[in-house]
Chains A and B, each alone.
Chain A
């Protein structure tokens, strides 16, 4: 009996020894293997105009990091899949990135529905997800910390806009919203804000965005005697609304998101219609070192806010993995806040960040999209907002807050 048990012990020991030597061998081999980052931007479909630049921003950061020696000697490989701006295709793309390429993080989901569809796959497979989607519901998912969002959620955007409008004397605001995930939550925030500030939301209509005429909506705005109208829609419908408001002789303040009125608006509407229109957007930090580097890398063309954000996603993931000393999704999740906020030395690029981390110093990455600090739910804090006014066919900066 004793001999048997001794034998068993010996066998166990032997097995354990063999297993651990395997494990060590595995680890040694893994040290040289490249780390994979998955990118899942919309390259076709409704998000098609944004995806390619978002991807280019990620590639730029990764090239720079690889030139600087990679993550503790390991190179980084970028694998991109197209989410086709469709949740179903996004899920299949994410499956491929996670199961075939073994990506440790997924960067750059754009449409809120795609992000929400992909999110459960990410947290179940312990992959960090960096997104630019704005719907409030995303960070409310039970994501165990795996989601990082650099786009201010719609609640924050609207409440900032309300503060601005009230500071400019708006008291009766009409809310005209396209059918979208943020219409209802925007309305809630606006009612709350204006009631507290002594004003009122004088009317609220949700419209179907594919309509080509908004006569009845505009009539209701006129009847409400509002001093401001919030056009919470998209480019095509807001363009029509601006024209119809002008025709109806609306003289109040017109306020909209920057994505709903841009240079194309000036091409389709005469200046007298657009003059005085105020737009706002969460702004990339235009004066920051990170933003200017990105702009240079893009060849001094205009950089959209989404590319600024994916630039930061890639940098955060690389620095977090370097900080952790390993590149699993969980390691990235646990270390993003260590290198993005706190008292560490401020850095605005991945090369400096990697160098300082290798030297054992604490870093605080300040990105192209802003100071990139996250709250406990994964939402971004302290983004700047930019207000512009339309004047004779171009936008003039009013304020950067």
Chain B
């Protein structure tokens, strides 16, 4: 049971990192990003390839994963400079699918749909599986803590206020003399870097990545985690991620406790329970578990 709880906390850490990254782009700046799994995938593939094919040390691979995802984020921000709302959502969704299709088709680089297996992990093999879990728990939550600290600072700084201004009304921010595009690019770069970092860590924890792992389902999970936690709030992003994992995994045991259901019904019951909880949450607490705190009310 301990090993399982630790593993789930590691997963919660990945989700928290992703929710933090998304929060900069969507929560603060108001740019709907449904392509977050694409940046996650870019980070994962970059680090996996550099460490397993070119034998880079892992920390360098993680940094490279974050950097390359940030670059992709910057380019993406320039491409979608004039898009807002639904249109932006569609284009970012498309970006993630493009990444997935490139990963499936460029077999020379990514090994196609077979995926990359045997990605090294810190001391993997030298320690017991449980110790490896604990080591990774430390690494992931350290990363979450650092990202949380830096992003909270940024969010309360003048930079963060401009991002919020852009979210509330882009034209007003422009009239106030703020270079809107430049701020959007920086927000995208920052968010994508955190997403890429999450991907890089994930690849080394799982030891295996394949294009199927970067399907839109993960994007939806993270958007839900952030919505549940509180859009715009960094603490909310982390709480939301933990809440989501608890919900996904907790329903496993709850559904099993219902007497007289077959495993097939249990699987359906689980998905239903997750959906229902989220609907209820959004109905009765639309601002999220930990709402964003700003000095002015919208």
Q: Interface code A155-172, partner B: CB below 8 Å = 1, 0 otherwise?
A: 000000000000000000
Flag if B112 contacts A95 (CB, 8 Å): no
Given contacts A92-B249, A96-B249, contact A82 B263 (CB under 8 A): yes
Is A44 on the interface with B (CB-CB < 8 A)?
Answer: yes
Interface pick from A178-186, A229-237, A379-387? A178-186
Q: How far is the CA of A340 from the CA of B255 in the complex (A)?
A: 37
> In the complex, what residues of B have CB within 8 A of residue A184's CB?
107, 112
| Nearest opposing residue in chain A for B101, CB measure | A208
> In the complex, what residues of B have CB within 8 A of residue A181's CB?
112-114
Q: Interface code A109-141, partner B: CB below 8 Å = 1, 0 otherwise?
A: 001110011011100110000000001010001
Flag if B1 contacts A100 (CB, 8 Å): yes
Given contacts A116-B117, A184-B112, contact A86 B212 (CB under 8 A): yes
Flag if A55 contacts B4 (CB, 8 Å): no
Given contacts A87-B213, A88-B218, A99-B1, contact A81 B252 (CB under 8 A): yes
Is A261 on the interface with B (CB-CB < 8 A)?
Answer: no
Q: How far is the CA of A82 from the CA of B272 in the complex (A)?
A: 14
Is A76 on the interface with B (CB-CB < 8 A)?
Answer: no
> In the complex, what residues of B have CB within 8 A of residue A88's CB?
213, 217-218
| Most chain B beta-carbon neighbours within 10 Å: one of A87, A121, A179 | A87
Q: How many of B's residues come within 8 Å of A, CB to CB?
A: 37
- Min CB distance, B37 to chain A, in Å? 10
Flag if B107 contacts A55 (CB, 8 Å): no
Is A303 on the interface with B (CB-CB < 8 A)?
Answer: no
Is A321 on the interface with B (CB-CB < 8 A)?
Answer: no
**A-B Cβ contacts below 8 A, count:** 98
Interface pick from B77-85, B203-211, B228-236? B203-211
Q: How many of A's residues come within 8 Å of B, CB to CB?
A: 40
Q: How far is the CA of A142 from the CA of B125 in the complex (A)?
A: 12
- Min CB distance, B183 to chain A, in Å? 33
Q: Interface code B140-170, partner A: CB below 8 Å = 1, 0 otherwise?
A: 0000000000000000000000000000000
Main SS at interface, chain B: helix
> In the complex, what residues of B have CB within 8 A of residue A100's CB?
1, 4
Flag if A92 contacts B11 (CB, 8 Å): yes
Q: How far is the CA of A55 from the CA of B267 in the complex (A)?
A: 13
> In the complex, what residues of A have CB within 8 A of residue B135's CB?
none
Flag if A142 contacts B129 (CB, 8 Å): no
> In the complex, what residues of B have CB within 8 A of residue A208's CB?
101
Flag if B113 contacts A179 (CB, 8 Å): yes
Q: How far is the CA of A39 from the CA of B267 in the complex (A)?
A: 13
Q: Interface code A54-88, partner B: CB below 8 Å = 1, 0 otherwise?
A: 01000000000000000000000000111010111
- Min CB distance, A237 to chain B, in Å? 15
Flag if A135 contacts B114 (CB, 8 Å): yes
Flag if B267 contacts A113 (CB, 8 Å): no
Residue among A121, A141, A206 making CB contact with B118, cutoff 8 Å: A141
Is A339 on the interface with B (CB-CB < 8 A)?
Answer: no
Q: Interface code A179-210, partner B: CB below 8 Å = 1, 0 otherwise?
A: 11100100000000000000000000010100
- Min CB distance, A179 to chain B, in Å? 6
Q: How far is the CA of A98 from the CA of B7 in the complex (A)?
A: 11
| Nearest opposing residue in chain B for A118, CB measure | B208
Near A by CB (< 8 A), chain B positions 1-52 give 1-4, 7-8, 11
Flag if B252 contacts A87 (CB, 8 Å): no
Flag if A137 contacts B114 (CB, 8 Å): yes
| Most chain A beta-carbon neighbours within 10 Å: one of B4, B105, B207, B212 | B212
- Min CB distance, B243 to chain A, in Å? 16
> In the complex, what residues of A have CB within 8 A of residue B208's CB?
87, 116-117, 119-120
Is B115 on the interface with A (CB-CB < 8 A)?
Answer: yes
> In the complex, what residues of A have CB within 8 A of residue B118's CB?
141-142
Flag if A82 contacts B4 (CB, 8 Å): no
6 tightest A-B contacts by CB? A99-B4, A80-B263, A82-B267, A43-B267, A99-B3, A113-B212
Q: List 17 A-B contacts (CB under 8 A).
A: A39-B263, A55-B263, A80-B263, A81-B263, A82-B270, A87-B208, A92-B7, A92-B248, A95-B8, A99-B3, A99-B7, A113-B115, A116-B117, A124-B129, A125-B129, A137-B117, A141-B118
| Residues in chain B within 8 A of chain A (CB atoms) | 1-4, 7-8, 11, 101, 104-105, 107, 112-115, 117-118, 129, 206-208, 210, 212-213, 215, 217-218, 248-249, 252, 263-264, 266-268, 270-271
Extra contacts besides A87-B212, A181-B114 (7): CB < 8 Å? A39-B263, A80-B263, A87-B213, A95-B8, A98-B4, A117-B206, A179-B112
